[in-house]
Amino acid sequence: MQKEITIYDLAERLGVSATTVSRALNDNPRINKKTREKVHQLAKELGYRHNTIAANLRKQQTKTIGVILHEVNSYFATSVLAGIEKVTTPENFDILITHSAETAEREKANVKNLINKRVDGIIVSLAMHSHDTAHFTPLFEREMPLVFFDRVLQSADCTKVVIDNFQGGYDATNHLISQGCKRIAHITGDMDLNVYMDRFKGYQKALKDHKIKFNKDLVKVCGLNKAETTQAVTEMLEQKPDAFFIPSDFAAAVCMEILRNKDINIPQDIAVFGFNNDMLSDLITPKLSTIDYPGFLMGEMAAKTLIEQIKLRRKNKNVKDHTIVIPTEIILRESSVRKKAKTTRPHK
Amino acid sequence: MQKEITIYDLAERLGVSATTVSRALNDNPRINKKTREKVHQLAKELGYRHNTIAANLRKQQTKTIGVILHEVNSYFATSVLAGIEKVTTPENFDILITHSAETAEREKANVKNLINKRVDGIIVSLAMHSHDTAHFTPLFEREMPLVFFDRVLQSADCTKVVIDNFQGGYDATNHLISQGCKRIAHITGDMDLNVYMDRFKGYQKALKDHKIKFNKDLVKVCGLNKAETTQAVTEMLEQKPDAFFIPSDFAAAVCMEILRNKDINIPQDIAVFGFNNDMLSDLITPKLSTIDYPGFLMGEMAAKTLIEQIKLRRKNKNVKDHTIVIPTEIILRESSVRKKAKTTRPHK
DNA sequence: TTGAAAGCGCTAACAC
DNA sequence: GTGTTAGCGCTTTCAA
């Protein structure tokens, strides 16, 4: 390609200095209105494009927020992203999305990449398999503005945005019990992650509150993908459960398919309860009861807090860490409601 | 934060020049092995991080590919992304994902942003509403390596990766006819887009080949989101169709829900046919017949071609534009198969 | 209101 | 095998 036009090219043609051009382009108020217009005019004519790279290098800031997601392929992920965008766009921050495909290795590479790219701050949800979290220490050392959301680092001293997973697990289980379920199977994800651990605790608490003895044979941990869920559900059926509480709508849908193939009636024979209120929970038959997961709101809160941090940091002020807990909401649909009138609610 | 370590800091401490440090860090072969090791060692100790921005400015290349998607929230989109990543990762290209949320305005802003960020090339699928495509001309002027995929600019002289939408539309319609359907409703998206136009042409051709007269009352264009699809389907029912060919799995699923609510039997009363082979097509009941859309392969091809272009361009060689057509595959499931044994296939 | 000069951190041409 | 020097394109003092 022909070389890109620079501010020097503009300056030369207009007989002014590059400084003036730069100021004019940035609408600096102390530039003469006429000069400014001339500059803008010529810039447009010649197809000048601001070189973000050069500006970033000079300004030592990128106005970019790195986002590390564990996966991108879900309604939840896109909701979070939308929530983040809602607050970054008006603030003129760009976002750089990376995903770790649930592996610690990729997560590590992403952290490194984002540091090298000198993002101004990072929003992260942990990968399923990232037990060794040493790769985050460079961020702490740099005092990089950092917000964990959803799947958070329990130990770390940093800002977190989470939903009340305990309450969600409790509500789901409590509801299943109210429908007469007594052998509630719980197929869930890695308990090292706060989200699954807390939901599990909620499950246990609800059982306890209803004097149902906890039975560890009814609990199974797996990757919650199609293959592993299929296996877990199939094995679990030997325990003769009368309900499945699977805190992932996708995995719950997989479970429902298996039950259907075996001509098991949902919810009469076995009730099913998911988690997330994903798009598909409202499209499958019977519709899936679930816990609404306000991804948009989480993204919004995370971005808002992060930008605050970034601004404080620029002023060299101290950031105080805190945890934001977002309430959940139970969504009752056909897959779990045995009694009374159906209480169906549309997907938001 | 404390300032980041630079190659000058390393150079000073080691009593060598910055050049040497730079070379050592980049594993330049003409650097002494011992020197290289010392540099790497100290870099690690001090937590040195390569400054991508500075390097990019200097090298006049970013090793980054911009991707403009019309939306991110689909199995197709993530498949494409995965396909792109498969080829960019080994080539050490980063990808910068933007989405236009189906609006021309956002698309325009994204193009501008990617130019300002000086990406080395761009892969784009058009937004539904981007009729005015003037915002792409800066890319052509710059001879920016550019590949359109899926939703392409019909007019433009550039490389395109598409699937055989005509064949897909033909196969779907042909199949429905073979199942005895005669009044096949077609609810589809903006016909200015090649994808919908070509599927529509395939639909027409199949009708013609079976001597079924084309009836324009059975065709409706809408946004294919939940609200618009609901309205379109509801209105269409007045035409008493015996099949719906809706070239979007999501919209087809919405349609099926409406039919279910009206106690219309699928496929006996009305058959339904989608497009894309999305995740959900295999999870809903009855399972949705559809056309497999090889997103992963498309992403792969697009990225491969783009990187070729980028490399040619660096050598100042000419790029010749071409169109790559990827074949589709019909997936027959319960929603459309009335006769014979069920031919169900799992989602890939 | 404008300009000169310096520098962000890196790489590469050229010299030795 | 290593160093000197210049420069990528921009912003920002400081001075006028």
Closest Cα in chain A, distance from residue B312 (Å): 11
Question: Could you read off the pLDDT of B94-133 as tens digits, one per residue?
Answer: 999 998 888 889 999 999 999 999 999 999 999 877 677 8
pLDDT reported for residue B344: 52
B64's enclosing H/E stretch is strand B64-69
Which positions in strand D are less than 7 Å from the protein's CB atoms?
Answer: 1-5, 7-13
Extract the tokens encoding A318. Answer: 């101290």
A284 touches chain B (CB under 8 A): yes
Interchain CB contact of B265 with A (< 8 Å): no
Domain ranges of chain A: 7-50, 62-162+295-326, 165-291
Which chain B residues have a beta carbon less than 8 Å from that of A284?
280, 283-285
Please check whether the two domains, A62-162+295-326 and A165-291, share a CATH topology.
yes
Tokens read off for B316: 């100042």
Residue A244 has pLDDT above 70, yes or no: yes
Give the CATH number of domain A165-291.
3.40.50.2300
Q: How confident is the model at residue A283 (pLDDT cuts 50, 70, 90)?
A: confident
User: Over the stretch A157-178, which tens digit does the pLDDT of each residue have?
Assistant: 889 999 999 999 999 999 999 9
User: What is the rounded end-to-end Cα distance, in angstroms, of chain B?
Assistant: 48
pLDDT digits over B4-59, tens only?
A: 999 999 999 999 999 999 999 999 998 999 999 999 999 999 999 999 999 999 99
Report the percentage of chain B scoring pLDDT > 90.
78
Tens-digit pLDDT profile for residues A84-113: 999 999 999 999 999 888 888 999 999 999
What is the per-residue pLDDT for A149?
95
Strand partners, A192: none
Residue nearest C8 (alpha carbon to C1'): A58
Does residue B170 surpass a pLDDT of 60? Answer: yes
Q: What's residue B346's pLDDT?
A: 54
Say if CB B328 and CB B164 are below 8 A apart: yes
- Give the Cα separation of A74 and B77 in Å (integer): 11
Of A52, A73, A143, the CB nearest to B116: A52
Mean pLDDT is lowest, of A53-57, A156-160, B58-62, B174-178, for A156-160
B259 closest CA partner among A280, A285, A272: A285
pLDDT digits (tens, 9 = 90+) for A245-280: 999 999 999 999 999 999 999 999 999 999 999 888
Q: Which residues contact A299 (CB under 8 A, 6 or more apart)?
A: A79, A80, A81, A82, A83, A84, A85, A86, A149
Res A219: pLDDT: 98
Q: Which residue is nearest to nucleotide C5 (CA to C1')?
A: A19
Contacts of A295 (CB under 8 A, 6+ apart): A75, A76, A77, A78, A79, A80, A83
Q: What's the whole-number mean pLDDT along residues A287-309?
A: 95
Domain covering A62-162+295-326: architecture: 3-Layer(aba) Sandwich (3.40)
- A72 contacts in B (CB within 8 Å)? 72, 78, 81
Query: Is the distance between the Cβ of B30 and the closest atom of strand C smaller than 7 Å?
Result: no
Q: How does the average pLDDT of chain A come out, rounded? A: 92
Q: Which two tokens stand for residue B91?
A: 């080539």
With tokens 């046919």, the residue in question is B273
Give, to the nearest 10 degrees, the angle between helix A194-209 and helix A165-178. 40
| Per-residue 3-state assignment (H helix, E strand, C coil) for chain A | CCCCCCHHHHHHHHCCCHHHHHHHHCCCCCCCHHHHHHHHHHHHHHCCCCCHHHHHHHHCCCCEEEEEECCCCCHHHHHHHHHHHHHHCCCCCEEEEEECCCCHHHHHHHHHHHHHCCCCEEEECCCCCCCCCHHHHHHHHCCCCEEEECCCCCCCCCEEEEECHHHHHHHHHHHHHHCCCCCEEEEECCCCCHHHHHHHHHHHHHHHHCCCCCCHHHEEECCCCHHHHHHHHHHHHHHCCCEEECCCHHHHHHHHHHHHHCCCCCCCCCEEECCECCHHHHCCCCCCEEEECCHHHHHHHHHHHHHHHHHHHHCCCCCCCCEEEECCEEECCCCCCCCCCCCCCCCC
Average pLDDT, stretch B70-77? 82
Say whether residue A136 is in contact with chain B using an 8 A CB cutoff: no
- CA of A215, closest CA in chain B: separation in Å? 30
Nucleotide D14 C1' to residue B290 CA (A): 69
Residue with structure tokens 């056309």? B291
**A141:B47 CB<8 A:** yes
Asked if A341 is an interface residue toward chain B (Cβ–Cβ < 8 A), one would say no
Residue closest to sugar C1' of D1 by CA:
B31
CA angle centred on B42, ends B41 and B45, rounded to 5°: 90
Residue B66 confidence (pLDDT) above 80: yes
CB-CB contact of A129 with A264 (8 Å): no
pLDDT band of residue A342 (cuts 50, 70, 90) is very low
Say whether A116 and B49 touch across the interface (CB within 8 A): yes
Task: Identify the closest residue of chain A to B137 by CA–CA distance.
Answer: A47
A200 has a pLDDT exceeding 70: yes
- Which tokens belong to B233? 């389907």
- Please give the pLDDT value at position A302: 97
- A191-213: average pLDDT: 96
Percentage of residues of chain A with pLDDT beyond 70 = 97
* CA closest to A79 among chain B residues: B73
Closest nucleotide relative to residue B60's CA, C1' based: D8
- Residue-level pLDDT at A25: 95
**DSSP secondary structure letter of residue B247:** S
- Interchain pair A138, B313: CB under 8 A: no
Reported as a single tens digit per residue, the pLDDT across A2-40 is 689 999 999 999 999 999 999 999 999 989 999 999 999
Q: Which nucleotides of chain C does any protein CB come within 7 A of?
A: 1-5, 7-13
A66 pLDDT higher than 80: yes
Q: Across-strand partners of B123?
A: B67, B147
Which of B65, B73, B98 should we substitute to test contact with A (largest number of A Cβ atoms within 10 Å)? B73
> Does B137 lie at the interface with A, CB-CB under 8 angstroms?
no
Give the pLDDT band (50/70/90) at residue A347: low
Which class is domain B7-50? mainly alpha
In this predicted structure, what is the pLDDT of residue B342? 46
Closest CA to A302 of A162, A195, A171: A162
Note whether B280 contacts A285, CB cutoff 8 Å: no
